[in-house]
Amino acid sequence: MLSLYSAAVVAAVFATSSALSLPPLIPSIPGVTEPLASNAPPLPILQIPTPPLPSPPFTGSNIRPKKIGYFWTAAGDNQHADFLATYSLDDDTFGTLIWVTDVPSSGNSPHHLGPSLDGKTLVGGGLLSLLKTQDTAFYFDTTNPYRPTFKKSNRAILGSITDEIRAKPDGGFFITYMGSAVGTSPGRLIETDKNFDIIAEWPALTDVESTLNILGEQFSPHGLSVDWDNNVMLTSDFVVPVTILKPASLLGIQRANTLRLWELDTRKIISTITIPNGGGIQDVKFIPGNKESAALATAVHLGQVWIIYPFRKNAQGVQGVAEMLFDLGPKARDTIAIYSDITDDGKFAYFTLTTANHVAALDISDLNNIKRLDDPDEDQGIVGPHYLKVTPDKKNLLVTDYFVQTGSIGVINTPADFKAQFIDINDDGSLSFNRSINFLDEFANRGGGWPHSAVVFDLTDPNNPIYY
């Protein structure tokens, strides 16, 4: 029977470079592999690496909206190919499906999605790609933003479980891989070049001090934020991925209380910052324009927002200080996931409380006087909100209502309505819910679409396109 150990062996055998990429272990054979995919029983942790079923047809559109939403989406049946769905976000054509771009595999549990700085490439990660011994990062060519094409995929050697993505000025990416090659701790910070080949997995094995750091305390990086001007990065540790899957989950999910502060130019870890009893620090983001390069971090068990000061020192003289900033209230406690976004002027911050079915809004323009802009007891009419993006014009908040469902092989199966919410941002930063896209109905012939994340292109000004 396949095991996590066999996955490590496969990776080691074929690890001729850090740009490792393997095809499915079972080739597509018409009339043979389709029934196998449909009838194969679930295995403990690893799954049979079958190719996807042939993709059903879709009706695209030739409209050319100024605002485009790209959604990295799972086929709900886990048998058809996972895909990038391209939609109009313009007011007059909102929710019109423009195009569907398949990847050559299924069952990846599409996770985060991010654009290159020039808007010519998107990269999406697969949270559970490891379980079918598939590539974990998928690249899309968006040179023609209305007809994205699949470009390539790859995987790391030391890390797996792809999470947050940040574009580099040279055209490549930083990507957090929350787990090791077999989904345990430590994970890795992955770096690609402009051709999207993996060039490093940080910390480097030759960096003894940083390596001892990640071996000494759980290193499961999920959140990632980069302050290019001040030469620092922050990663936040969430959970050890394999502990959400059976049988490892029987021992309990291993949640972290830590963030790592990095020196950007050397890719070395400066220090570990602890949020006591944080219970999973899912996300971290630098506050735009903050004079101290402060960042907001989300502590899931506590249901709190903490502020990180990367250049302050604690009583022991260690660089990096964390302070509690705002308590999101009892409904935010242990809400499985709290993800965030901040307006580019640093005034407003938004947080999804996944199993509380709620999006919280804060006015952070004065960090000494945080104002809550939402009613924590309001029924917002959504189920399972998770990933969110403020649109470049700050007029809307795009939220996807789906986190993770591992099915019978795991213990994280969060309720969701599988919609993309396009929420109006009022002048005072508060929210007004009124529009959504129903992915279950749109992609019923794939078992429904499960959209986890999104990227927004705003092409309103042809001389100043924005990709976020």
* CA nearest to 241, candidates 45, 19, 12: 45
Strand 388-390: give its sheet, edge to edge.
Answer: 388-390, 396-400, 419-425, 431-438
Residue 341 CB partners (closer than 8 Å, separation 6+): 285, 349, 350, 388, 389, 390, 397
Q: What is the CATH number of the domain that holds 311?
A: 2.130.10.10
The Cα–Cα gap between 455 and 468 comes to: 6
pLDDT digits (tens, 9 = 90+) for 127-185: 999 999 899 999 999 999 999 999 999 999 999 999 999 999 999 999 999 999 989 99
Q: What angle do CA 341, 344, 348 make, to 5 degrees?
A: 55
Q: Which of 244-253, 390-399, 408-417 has the lowest mean pLDDT?
A: 244-253
DSSP helix/strand/coil, 99:
strand
Phi first, then psi: give them for residue 108, nearest 5 degrees.
-80, -15
Q: Which of 15-29, 35-49, 424-438 has the lowest mean pLDDT?
A: 15-29
The Cα–Cα gap between 188 and 134 comes to: 18
pLDDT of residue 35: 47
Stated pTM of the model: 0.91
For range 12-38, the mean pLDDT: 46
Whether pLDDT at 22 is above 60: no
Residue 169 CB partners (closer than 8 Å, separation 6+): 117, 228
pLDDT of residue 187: 97
DSSP helix/strand/coil, 451:
strand
pLDDT of residue 3: 35
Choose between 174 and 36: higher pLDDT: 174
* CA nearest to 183, candidates 410, 354, 384, 15: 410
Q: How many CA atoms lie less than 13 Å away from 247 in the CB half-sphere?
A: 3
pLDDT of residue 20: 53
User: What is the DSSP-derived secondary structure letter of residue 324?
Assistant: E
Classify each residue of 408-445 as buried b or exposed e, where b means 16 or more C-beta atoms within 10 Å of its C-beta.
ebbebebebbbbbbbbebeeebebebebbbbbeebbee
Whether pLDDT at 1 is above 50: no
| Contact between 273 and 231 (Cβ < 8 Å) | no
For range 258-272, the mean pLDDT: 98
Q: DSSP assignment of 348-411, as one string?
A: EEEEEEGGGTEEEEEE-SSTTS-EE-S-TT---S-SS---EEE-TTSSEEEEE----B-GGGBS
Structure tokens at 63: 């409209």
For range 114-119, the mean pLDDT: 98
For range 4-9, the mean pLDDT: 34
β pairing state of 149-154 and 159-167: unpaired
**Does an H or E element contain 100, and which?**
strand 97-102
The Cα–Cα gap between 35 and 350 comes to: 44
pLDDT of residue 6: 34
- Structure-token match 């559970």, residue found: 128
* CA nearest to 342, candidates 374, 377, 297: 297
Q: What domain count does the chain have? A: 1
| Contact between 70 and 391 (Cβ < 8 Å) | no
pLDDT digits (tens, 9 = 90+) for 233-245: 999 999 999 999 8
Whether pLDDT at 192 is above 70: yes
The Cα–Cα gap between 350 and 335 comes to: 15
Our CA dihedral for 14, 17, 18, 24, rounded to 10 degrees, sits at -30
The Cα–Cα gap between 161 and 239 comes to: 11
Whether pLDDT at 17 is above 50: no
Count of Cβ atoms closer than 10 Å to residue 142 Cβ: 26
Cα distance from N-terminal residue to C-terminal residue, the chain: 43
Whether pLDDT at 47 is above 90: no
Q: Which of 41-50, 61-70, 177-186 has the lowest mean pLDDT?
A: 41-50
Domain with 309, as residue range(s), is: 4-467
pLDDT of residue 250: 72
Give the mean pLDDT of the chain: 91
Whether pLDDT at 16 is above 80: no
**Does an H or E element contain 236, and which?**
strand 232-237
Whether pLDDT at 7 is above 50: no
